[in-house]
């Protein structure tokens, strides 16, 4: 799976990140795994047309000293739909920009 991974994070930084994600992102049934909705304006034409599959999301996972954002744009409603696809260039940039902004907001050096 292609992903944006930030590792070698200090325990206090991970604690702050998890606290932030618990408050701002949708928790999944897995511990320290979150859904983040992809904005409408960066969905591909197919994803935008599939309103019945919305919302389209990315998955963020956190472990002991790392976080990882998958470059797979998912739908929570129909995992077999063709609108679920690897992120295009603008979506990849958005994913990385979002995570970098969280790190900056929390003053985490990575």
49-105: pLDDT as tens digits: 999 999 999 999 999 999 999 999 999 888 889 999 999 999 999 999 999 999 999
3-state secondary structure of 9: coil
The CATH number of the domain where 70 resides is what? 3.30.310
Question: Residue 31's domain spans which residues?
Answer: 3-101
Q: What is the pTM of this model?
A: 0.91
| 57 located within any domain | yes
Dist CA 81 CA 23 (whole Å): 30
| Residue among 88, 94, 76 at smallest CA distance from 46 | 88
**Contact criterion met (CB below 8 Å) for 106 and 17:** yes
| 47 located within any domain | yes
User: Which pLDDT score, from 0 to 100, does residue 78 have?
Assistant: 82
| Residue among 90, 54, 46, 94 at smallest CA distance from 74 | 54
| 11 located within any domain | yes
User: Which pLDDT score, from 0 to 100, does residue 19 have?
Assistant: 96
User: Which pLDDT score, from 0 to 100, does residue 97 have?
Assistant: 97
| 107 located within any domain | no
- The count of other CB atoms within 10 Å of the CB of residue 33 is 16
Question: Per the structure, how many domains does the chain have?
Answer: 1
């Amino acid at each position: 799976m292609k992903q944006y991974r930030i590792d070698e994070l200090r325990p206090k930084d991970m604690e702050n990140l998890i606290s932030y994600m618990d408050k701002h992102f949708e928790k999944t049934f897995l511990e320290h795994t979150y859904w983040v909705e992809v904005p409408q304006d960066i969905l591909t034409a197919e994803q935008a047309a599939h309103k019945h599959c919305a919302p389209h999301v990315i998955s963020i996972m956190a472990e002991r000293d790392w976080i990882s954002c998958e470059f797979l744009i998912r739908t929570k409603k129909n995992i077999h739909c063709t609108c679920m696809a690897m992120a295009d260039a603008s979506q990849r940039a958005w994913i990385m920009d979002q995570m970098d902004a969280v790190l900056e907001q929390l003053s985490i050096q990575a």
